[in-house]
Amino acid sequence: TQLLEQSPQFLSIQEGENLTVYCNSSSVFSSLQWYRQEPGEGPVLLVTVVTGGEVKKLKRLTFQFGDARKDSSLHITAAQPGDTGLYLCAGPSSNTGKLIFGQGTTLQVKP
Amino acid sequence: DAGVIQSPRHEVTEMGQEVTLRCKPISGHNSLFWYRQTMMRGLELLIYFNNNVPIDDSGMPEDRFSAKMPNASFSTLKIQPSEPRDSAVYFCASSRYRPDTQYFGPGTRLTVL
């Protein structure tokens, strides 16, 4: 069974700080996605990484896919209160194609 | 374009009652997914449809749960009878051809007393 483990589970930081969230697996994924979910809303897709070693940037967010396509990271520079939310990584199962989700990282950015 | 639409947004019911959750996927999308989210178990896939046909319902917890997709623009998830442990947020998502790019609705928060 393919699993995605995220760390840390919870993160509380001050505005302006940098942070990194990790998504790890022992299995190879053809792609990984990152979602952000705000309270009372559904997850919103931020990015999809496909190629091993790929780096994608979305304003202050930097996403990296591991060379072996078993892990990914999300780095936020100069975090702002608007970044607060639940960050989920997900990847398609190699057997079924269904999307497997990590348990999520809850980020709180204090002003 | 409108996103995925779910109704109701909130549902409070008593144990034993029937609950029906509704979803309208994004127009043109050919896959629809039902998820359940709880603090303990995170986001779990219950069932997904491709071209209105149920493909995998292995995540449906019990026979009390059933889902239908009578046409490309509408799906329902029904719980009968409901139990307190069914309390969760239920999400519907849709995708076009690529199951790894899903668009989620705002969810239905279900509370079973």
pLDDT the model gives residue B1? 62
Q: What is the pLDDT of residues A10-66, one digit of tens each?
A: 999 999 999 999 999 999 999 999 999 998 899 999 999 999 999 999 999 999 999
List of chain A residues whose C-beta atoms are within 8 Å of the C-beta of residue B102: 45, 99
Residue contact B105–A42, C-beta within 8 A: yes
Cα distance between residue B93 and residue B103, in whole Å: 5
User: Given 3-state DSSP classes, what are the helix, strand and coil percentages for chain A, each rounded to the nearest 5?
Assistant: 5, 50, 45
- Put simply, the chain B residues between 11 and 40 with a CB less than 8 A from any chain A CB are 33
List of chain A residues whose C-beta atoms are within 8 Å of the C-beta of residue B107: 40-42
**Is B52 within 8 Å of B10 (Cβ atoms)?**
no
Count of Cβ atoms closer than 10 Å to residue B85 Cβ: 10
Closest Cβ opposite residue A48 in set B43, B101, B106: B101
Cα distance between residue B47 and residue A110, in whole Å: 38
Cα distance between residue B83 and residue B55, in whole Å: 26
Q: Decide if B54 touches A, using CB distance below 8 A.
A: no
Nearest to B39 by CA among A9, A13, A110: A9
Q: What is the pLDDT of residues B13-49, one digit of tens each?
A: 999 999 999 999 999 999 999 999 998 888 999 999 9
- Of A13-17, A91-95, B77-81, the least confident: A91-95
